[in-house]
Structure 1
């Protein structure tokens, strides 16, 4: 036995000396062993090229470091715009060289072993193709930003196509939010930090809600709250939610608690509902511009496509106001989708509208519902801002208030506490459906997206307190929303910036086309980046799938100090950007 072992060891050692690889690679990686043995000359050549590129990269990194250390002096002499451009050029060189190195190493190992792994393109203009189809229905001629070469290389080499798709979407859609989380504005500790007027949160009444949630009646804890709960939501909370929605939605008859499903946010409700109502590859119609998270929720989670119903800003004979949804537009989108062999299963409506802030009239809602019934379509209505209609001239009409619904079993309402009560951290979303089969199917998602029993108890106590809601919270919330909105509106009017004046929601939809030259989505992205470079986050219209370039969404439900600082930065960026456009035009015309 010992001779046999020694003989095996000596053979292994011999193999090691011939291949210069660990002995255990002999059985586990025969292809790699053979390739290394046959390609010694090729490897030397590759090593030489790699060495040259690493030396070149070293010089570029050194230059970048020196530029960074002297940035303050350079910015003083060059100006912010030229300084930023120079820095980005250096970063681009670094990214391109790193990409070439990754491709060189990758192509001389994995690809020669005939592994079926896609390689990233070394051309800085290219990027991974995984995910190109993911949101193809949203492409309206706008340029879609792509990951850099190096990021694409590592993502596509490590993740599945689906994982790469999700990775790409997240990093391109939420990188500014990640930057904000690590560098938030604070008037004393970090006055140069990010101001976030992009994430839709109501921060105007945190004092009121905090005071209410810390009262003694909120502090009940028993053994049951520490155990797994009903996946559908605790019965006591569902009963209260049915009563709450009956009252504030002005339902003609009491709503049934058995038709209420509680999950951990509105997006969880939406994506789960899309999965219950649709098969993979099916589609839903949605008017655009629309809530930017819905495409992410529907495609990546449920594999359901959202087909845009494009709304235009122009007022015409058929459109009496900007971005008006009509039955004719629904019909056109449905017809086009069928021509493309898409199986449309429903319509998504947001009321009050996000990001337009408008509210649908009951007559309009009736027309949409009749259209849906005619074509046997489900209707999902997001009513997240129903208590955030702050102007007396704007009147909210819930679908639940309609006495004779055309097809109740095909209508499903979403609401959550994040927007109307400013408690997004509680993570509670609500579905109300007249269809008991849908409610029963949705229950299983509580296994994945359930809400803490402690949070459910506190929310139950909060929603029970109608006196506090009606006499304290809602009046002050509406008053503060009006005040913040008026402050922003006055600045926009002074700057002669058009906007949708609707009087509901936590945001304003503004038209910055005058600051784009030419008015393209590329220029919209440049302006968006200018805001971000000045530590101000606002959302571009492209992220809301608006068909027209130049629109932006600005959240005003922020405490006054931060809103003031944010609007100062907003005005500064626009003035600087406008000056840059003027100078370029003068240089072009030679004046």
Structure 2
């Protein structure tokens, strides 16, 4: 450690709270055939429900061309950016705007997109505001290259299990940041929300966009779960920020998406940044050169997207399977806990947001940690609310978009752990 820079030492502390558990997980991962007594990972948001469809399609289109041997465009291949513009126009039913490839950058996943935005929009020490609870690895993604910081703005009425988002959430976060002598530079909006699975209406987000405009703050709208919404009879169509009419501050409003969630392909590392200005993308390519995906991966995905009928059918089936699995796991959790577990009524995502509060012996975060360790010792790894910035103890996030055999084993282990707690 003595040979590292100050930045290197700070990096060693990032995500330190969870690293020991991941180390144990890597050394002893569950496998129903090879290692049936290993640790079952229900914490990492991956979706295998349509793996058979994806593998078959990707195998059918993989080819090699001589140009793949050479350097990619640091902005991302123009063919892919053009195809993505068509894709978003179609799936988001964009009738108010025509997307332009010049305003798009292809990065190595959503993490890369966050890093680019952080580098381009904030100076060292600037603050990015985000509502909590949330996917806290965003802290790392924002800070790793820039030493910017993320400040949490707690959603309202968490003690009542409501988690309400209003403009006051960000207004209070902004004011408290100013009082601490820090400089707010941007707001991060996650829609659909992780870990809640909420989908926010345009009216709610527009009030926040107007507040950001008033304070001259950039807004990064993370829509990585936009097409992973459940098929519910009463659910309204998801409205992307790309389709909002007359944005309050279009040059400071930015979009983020990736293939990790909606296409269940986190391993290919392709993220999409659509900026308020083409100028930002032209400048940002100088840092994106460090993280742009390979030509081979980009061209494979371009071919995938060009098959409109396949994409349409895949998204439809994926949403159906997510919906079915969510309600199945919800019911199983309620049964094994004798209705003591309350499952949040999510509308999207790969996760169950579950309230274990009635199981806790004492309603504290220390007790939440004790329960977490009992679960881990019984071979099941899930995310606890404290690590996701939740203000109230007792909440946990459980990934449900896994094989049936994994879910069955996970439910059995959870029940066993509850009995031993």
Q: Distance in 1 between matches of 2:152 and 2:15?
A: 21
Q: 1:221-257: per-residue Cα shift (whole Å, max 9, x none)?
A: 2221110010010110010011111222222222001
Q: Which residue of 1 aligns with 2:211?
A: 371
Between 564-573 and 298-307, report the one with greater CA deviation.
Answer: 298-307
Q: Which residue of 1 aligns with 2:239?
A: 397
Q: Aligned in 2, Cα 1:294/1:427: closer, same or farther, shift over 3 Å?
A: same
CA RMSD of aligned residues (A): 1.6
Residues 103-182 of structure 1 mapped to structure 2, 5 A cutoff? 155=1, 157=2, 159-182=4-27
1:476 matched to 2:317? The reply is yes
Give the CA deviation at 1:313.
4.5
Residues 507-526 of structure 1 mapped to structure 2, 5 A cutoff? 507-526=351-370
SS at match of 2:143: helix
Q: Distance in 1 between matches of 2:345 and 2:321?
A: 17
For normalisation by structure 1, the TM-score amounts to: 0.68
Q: Aligned in 2, Cα 1:509/1:313: closer, same or farther, shift over 3 Å?
A: farther
Q: Which residue of 2 aligns with 1:327?
A: 167
Q: What is the aligned counterpart of 1:193 among 32, 38, 51?
A: 38
1:447 matched to 2:289? The reply is yes
Q: What is the aligned counterpart of 2:375 among 511, 518, 531?
A: 531
Q: Distance in 2 between matches of 1:539 and 1:273?
A: 27
Q: Which residue of 2 aligns with 1:338?
A: 178
1:359 matched to 2:199? The reply is yes
Q: Distance in 1 between matches of 2:169 and 2:288?
A: 36
Q: What is the aligned counterpart of 1:554 among 398, 409, 412?
A: 398
Give the CA deviation at 1:315.
7.6
Q: Which residue of 2 aligns with 1:233?
A: 76
Higher gyration radius (CA): 1
Q: Which runs of 5+ in 1 are unaligned?
A: 1-154, 578-591
SS at match of 1:221: coil
1:222 matched to 2:65? The reply is yes
Q: Distance in 1 between matches of 2:350 and 2:374?
A: 23
Q: Distance in 2 between matches of 1:487 and 1:405?
A: 40
Q: Which residue of 2 aligns with 1:381?
A: 221
Q: Which residue of 1 aligns with 2:307?
A: 465
Kept after mapping to 1: 8 A contact 2:199/2:347: no
For normalisation by structure 2, the TM-score amounts to: 0.95
Kept after mapping to 2: 8 A contact 1:312/1:548: no
Q: Aligned in 2, Cα 1:227/1:314: closer, same or farther, shift over 3 Å?
A: closer
Kept after mapping to 2: 8 A contact 1:351/1:381: yes
Give the CA deviation at 1:159.
3.7
Q: Distance in 2 between matches of 1:187 and 1:296?
A: 33
Give the CA deviation at 1:437.
2.2
Q: Distance in 1 between matches of 2:83 and 2:400?
A: 31
Q: Which residue of 2 aligns with 1:123?
A: none
Give the CA deviation at 1:339.
1.1
Q: Distance in 2 between matches of 1:297 and 1:475?
A: 31
Q: Which residue of 2 aligns with 1:576?
A: 420
Residues 73-112 of structure 1 mapped to structure 2, 5 A cutoff? none
SS at match of 1:291: coil
Q: 1:148-191: per-residue Cα shift (whole Å, max 9, x none)?
A: xxxxxxx4x45444333322334432332232233222222211
Q: Which residue of 2 aligns with 1:244?
A: 87
SS at match of 2:299: helix
Q: Which residue of 2 aligns with 1:588?
A: none
SS at match of 1:574: helix
Give the CA deviation at 1:447.
1.6
Give the CA deviation at 1:326.
0.9
Kept after mapping to 1: 8 A contact 2:158/2:392: no
Figure out how many residues of one structure are paired with residues of the other and give that number. Answer: 415
Give the CA deviation at 1:446.
2.5
Q: Distance in 2 between matches of 1:380 and 1:170?
A: 22
Q: What is the aligned counterpart of 1:259 among 86, 90, 103?
A: 103
Q: Distance in 2 between matches of 1:178 and 1:250?
A: 43
Q: Distance in 2 between matches of 1:484 and 1:380?
A: 30
Q: Distance in 2 between matches of 1:475 and 1:249?
A: 14
Q: Which residue of 2 aligns with 1:287?
A: 131
Ranked by relative contact order (alpha carbons within 8 Å, sequence separation 6 or more), the top structure is 2
Q: Distance in 2 between matches of 1:394 and 1:275?
A: 37
Q: Distance in 2 between matches of 1:416 and 1:430?
A: 6
Q: Which runs of 5+ in 2 are unaligned?
A: none
Give the CA deviation at 1:388.
0.2
Which protein has the bigger helix share? 1
Give the CA deviation at 1:330.
1.5
